[in-house]
């Protein structure tokens, strides 16, 4: 990890799955997070809870919440909020993670309702989700949401547009089987927006 050249890294997306795998992987993850901070790289963090991988509930909660403090943007779901800090209320979850020294924004995934966004400055709003006629498979929806957020940020879009794209990719993903078959190309995403009558 100390040999990784981070000079061209614009955003690092980190998942709570990796530190769950072993003590060694957890130490490696923590070292990478520290290096990203040292190099002032934007970090997005998805708790991505997998309790079965941890075995120890308290260790999971303590570790994930500690790692979240390294992130500029935290992307929890309401179910994860309930497990990690005891609430399903999006604003309460956001306020908890905004206590992180580096954390500038929290985007809470609220299922079909969309995403709740709150910033360190106190700006808060909900970005509505998209109506889905038939949910075929929810696997990959959370990762699709992160994909939407990150690609929008890389294009210089604001948090509202990033959350909107996250909602869109998640909505497209749950209508397909597999873990990423619904992720759209830019052309497909534009067509979806046009069909839905929204602008990013």
Instruction: Answer whether residue 182 shows pLDDT above 80.
Output: no
- Going across the sheet that includes 42-46, the strands are 11-15, 42-46, 73-74, 105-109, 114-119, 124-128
Other beta carbons within 10 angstroms of residue 190's beta carbon come to 12
End-to-end CA distance of the chain: give it in Å, rounded: 37
pLDDT over 80 (residue 178): no
User: Which tokens hold the place of 21?
Assistant: 């795998």
- Which residue has better confidence, 105 or 55? 105
Q: Which residues are catalytic?
A: 143
**Cα 153 to Cα 23, 143, 148, distances in angstroms:** 32, 15, 9
> Which pLDDT value is given to residue 139?
65
Higher pLDDT, 179 or 11: 11
Tens of pLDDT, residues 98-156: 999 999 999 999 988 999 999 999 999 999 988 877 777 666 678 889 999 999 999 99
- pLDDT, one tens digit per residue, over 159-174 is 999 999 999 998 888 7
What does the block give as tokens for 181? 């078959």
């Amino acid at each position: 990890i100390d040999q990784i050249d981070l000079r061209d890294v614009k955003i690092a997306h980190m998942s709570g799955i990796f530190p769950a795998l072993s003590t060694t992987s957890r130490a490696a993850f923590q070292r990478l997070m520290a290096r990203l901070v040292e190099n002032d790289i934007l970090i997005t963090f998805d708790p991505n809870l997998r309790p079965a991988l941890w075995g120890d509930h308290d260790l999971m909660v303590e570790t994930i919440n500690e790692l979240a403090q390294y992130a500029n943007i935290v992307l929890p779901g309401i179910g994860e909020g309930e497990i990690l800090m005891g609430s399903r209320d999006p604003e309460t979850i956001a306020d908890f993670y905004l206590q992180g020294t580096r954390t500038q924004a929290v985007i809470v995934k609220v299922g079909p309702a969309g995403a709740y966004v709150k910033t360190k400055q106190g700006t808060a709003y909900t970005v509505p989700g998209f109506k889905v006629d038939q949910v075929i498979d929810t696997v990959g929806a959370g990762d699709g949401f992160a994909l939407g957020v990150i690609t929008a940020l890389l294009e210089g879009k604001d948090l509202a547009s990033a959350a909107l794209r996250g909602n869109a990719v998640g909505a497209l993903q749950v209508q397909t089987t597999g873990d990423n078959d619904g992720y759209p190309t830019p052309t497909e995403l534009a067509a979806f927006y046009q069909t839905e009558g929204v602008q990013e």
